Structure 1
């Protein structure tokens, strides 16, 4: 009888320990799931980008024009702000200005750098204020009328290639006024008849990323 009672006690203790073990694992797993959900809420995927951006960053995607046929597009925070569909792009340089603190679009415009005058471009970019993001997408020809003054302004915005842009090059650039450094968001392909993907034009450029929100 005494052995039976001891055995029952051992069985009960083992049952309680097993129940506690699995309960601990279960609730621990729920905590991990909840933690993962909370962490996922801190990031967002916009503009169809491959990687998400944290809450205090802006998501963007920018695509250059394809030869002189398909126009460029600029997406910011899941909103297409410039594209052929919106009918607000043109041959040359397509530029969007956005407030780096609020993410609010300031204005957009396109500038013909083949046969047009460079003055409208200078009137657009020279008054840009500190804390403004500058998005640039080329279409057809970004460089023929791009003079030294305009190139210098883009260089101040953080461009590494503005002084090298020439006839029918492909160029994407995201910089800003007052960033005091070279932008990590820039791509450039030279027009080269031996390497051009299209007849007379280099291939399309595509760039996406996350830009930190300006807090000061």
Structure 2
């Protein structure tokens, strides 16, 4: 999952971004509306975490702008506003969810996973694909009942594939789900390395990652 966090409180943002990384969520941080707009022009995101009170304006203006041009990016609003009217207004502007500050990191991540399930029409955190069972909350999987030894990025990559079974995913799409703008020194060919590692761990199980030459990869069941 690739997330844009729009938040001007540096220590809060740094804490969230660091914890996201440990949970397999790639996150770019924009401290202002202007920075957020710059990021959105050059990068595709799976979701946005949006603070309302920003140094160069209200997050509501960005929300209104995105929805006004038909952008359906899932947006979770962070707010210190407690009134029902404030929350209703935010939802009516097009926010998909909101979380009142201060918040628990676990709840923030759970709400983002729920937004992702809504986008892919999944009803549960647990994904089954043949003999493979995967939990995005736990960043773990089992194959024929045996726990898979996965690194954080391998687990993230597997999760991306499993949310799009039998669909061809290009290297760029996979890269965007694994790396942030701070990983500019990591090349696109890194995807080949992680795909190769996953293939070795899935070998002989009936679950395969097929290469669609010149297009990308897809996860599939043999036979």
TM-score (norm 2): 0.29
Which of these two proteins has the greater Rg computed from alpha carbons? 1
TM-score (norm 1): 0.30
The structure where strand makes up a greater share of residues is 1
